[in-house]
Amino acid sequence: MIRYKSTRGGDESKRSTEAIIQGIAADKGLFVPETIPALPFKPEQKTATPYHYSAFHILKSFLPDFTDEELKRCIEGAYDSRFEAAEIAPLVKAGSAYFLELYHGRTAAFKDMALSILPYLLTTAMNKEKEEKKVVILTATSGDTGKAALEGFSDVPGTEIVVFYPKDGVSQVQERQMLTQSGKNTHVFAIRGNFDDAQAGVKKIFNDEAFAAKLAAKGYRLSSANSINIGRLAPQIVYYVYAYIKLLELGAVETGAPMNVVIPTGNFGNILAAYYAKRMGLPVRRLICASNRNKILTDFIRTGVYDANRDFYVTNSPSMDILISSNLERLLYHLSGDSAGETAALMAKLEESRKYCVTGKIREGLKDFYGGFAGVEETNETIGKLYQDEKYLVDTHTAVAYKVYEDYLKETGDGTPAVIASTASPYKFADSVAKSIGLQTDADEFENIRLLHEHTGVAVPDALKNLEGREIRHSGVVDVGGMADAVSGSLE
């Protein structure tokens, strides 16, 4: 039975239920499975099965401490009619690739795919482990995680959720989604800084033993909804397996033939899930990592040097405006041959100098990855061209992925069928999308949603309809140094 251990080696192995509740290991490392399970079924034998089938069998492989009945209840509660697409994650052919639309959930972003089920997994785990303390979900967001986590945990018994986001680092729509969030247990704060500042502040709180003791005395314990939580990461593996099954259904690949996956990512969680799927035996040839102007992951994959001592750019694909990619730690651990010592040493260098260099096994393992990036102008041009040629509308993050994929094709000539993770509705970034297809945009992003809909006829997700008229419920703005006080104040 799979158990979980820390990437840094200093924590005893945990049951999957314990790892989900705890979120992050006591030694600051991330929980990883002691072994990565094999695919529990042959994809070619499961064509025409619903998303729930793949979800159940993949999650059962990674979360063996849940009973079949418990997992089925979690899955049915998460992937229900609140997803506007009956197939949950449609696969659509456009241009030279297949787009896996992951944004048909409650907040119109791919984070719904995991954060719709995490509250069910967490509360089930709490009951199984007889956890008496109220769990405080603490998370930093570059835009979409925050709203999806807030939506998922809103008024969930036994939980509080506190979200921090960079004040000027998310879109108007993303911010309004968070600020209008209902739920007596939801708390949202903007910080004066960027996402890396927010993420560093959250990690500091997690690692503050005195603060943890203070919360424990009040009956609380911390956990996370970021992809550092294995209960958030495991559900993301599902949709890559499901995408391959859909390719088989469409006749786009033959049994056992590989696919490529192209993933826009900043914090490395979404592409790490694809890596796990590959390790399970899913036929994946290349893991194509797409970055925006903050191309630290591109540089790392190409050189083996991770150097965060560089300028930080605010772009129109804000969920990738990140310089410290938390989930990369898990990849380092696996590529090093599960060496907690080597991983801990690299993370110590990152904390000390914001830089490290990998060699040996890790550098060799990076050959499975391809790194590329797209600037703002290239992103906008890609949106415009894809709509002009295919009448297919994508958001800025998905456009980054498609541009990187086009570059990959030119460089390699690799005609392997490619699945692009389409991570958000184009309406979440209506300003850039409308401008990219030639519309005269307004200063108000909500007006641009209306313009975009009138011009394209593409349906506006329910999550974004009439968003500008909803009541503002959260207005706190804090400095990075005040984040712990904001958490404490939220729980009084």
CB 48 within 8 A of CB 249: yes
One-character DSSP codes across 358-397: --HHHHHHGGGEEEEE--HHHHHHHHHHHHHHH-----HH
| d(C-alpha 233, C-alpha 16), whole Å | 12
Fill in the DSSP letter of residue 426. G
CB 482 within 8 A of CB 467: no
CA distances (Å), 459 to each of 5, 84, 404, 425, 454, in order? 44, 11, 27, 10, 10
Q: Letter for the amino acid at 36?
A: I
| d(C-alpha 452, C-alpha 91), whole Å | 23
Using DSSP bridges, classify how beta strands 305-307 and 355-357 pair: parallel, antiparallel or unpaired. antiparallel
Query: 317: helix, coil or strand?
Result: coil
Annotation says 111 is catalytic: yes
| d(C-alpha 37, C-alpha 68), whole Å | 17
| d(C-alpha 322, C-alpha 318), whole Å | 8
CB 316 within 8 A of CB 429: yes
CB 176 within 8 A of CB 463: no
| d(C-alpha 70, C-alpha 67), whole Å | 5
| d(C-alpha 159, C-alpha 186), whole Å | 9
Residue 258, both tokens: 């590989």
CA distances (Å), 122 to each of 7, 156, 385, in order? 21, 10, 43
Check 14, 111, 246, 403 and give the catalytic one: 111
CB 40 within 8 A of CB 57: yes
The residues annotated as belonging to the active site are 111
